[in-house]
Amino acid sequence: MAEADRDDTSSQGEWVSPREYVRRIARDPAAETEAEYSITEQFRRGKIPYCYRDRNGELHHDDLADDFRREAVIDFAAATATRPGRIIREDNLALPLVRGNLRPKPQWIGNPFQRDFDPFSRAYYIDRELPAETITELKFLVPRAPAVEPAAQKAPRRGRPSPAPLVLEEAKRRSKDRERLIRQGRENFLAELSSWLDDAHPEARPMAPKTIGDHLRENADVRALLPESWFRRK
Centre a 10 Å sphere on the Cβ of residue 36 and count the other Cβ atoms it contains: 18
Rg (CA), the chain: 44
Domain boundaries, the chain: 3-86+133-142, 164-231
**Could you tell me which residues come within 8 angstroms of residue 16 by beta carbon, excluding any fewer than 6 positions away?**
24, 139, 140, 142
Give the rounded distance of the alpha carbon of 67 from its chain centre: 33
Q: What pLDDT shows up at residue 229?
A: 82
Most confident of 29-33, 109-113, 130-134, 200-204: 130-134
Predicted TM-score (pTM) of the model is 0.48
Q: What is the pLDDT of residues 164-183, one digit of tens each?
A: 888 888 888 888 888 888 88
pLDDT at 197 over 80: yes
Main-chain dihedrals φ then ψ at residue 24, nearest 5 degrees: -75, -35
> What value does the mean pLDDT of the chain take?
81
Over range 192-204, report the average pLDDT: 87
Looking at residue 98, what is its pLDDT?
Answer: 55
Of all residues in the chain, what percent carry a pLDDT higher than 90?
Answer: 32
From CA 108, how far away is CA 123, in angstroms rounded?
A: 9
5 band by pLDDT with thresholds 50, 70 and 90: very low
Q: pLDDT (tens digit, 9 = 90+) per residue, 60-89?
A: 999 999 999 999 999 999 999 999 998 888
Looking at this protein, which amino acid is placed at residue 157? R
Residue 2 is predicted with a pLDDT of: 42
What pLDDT was estimated at residue 168?
87
Within 45-163, residue ranges assigned H as helices are 66-71
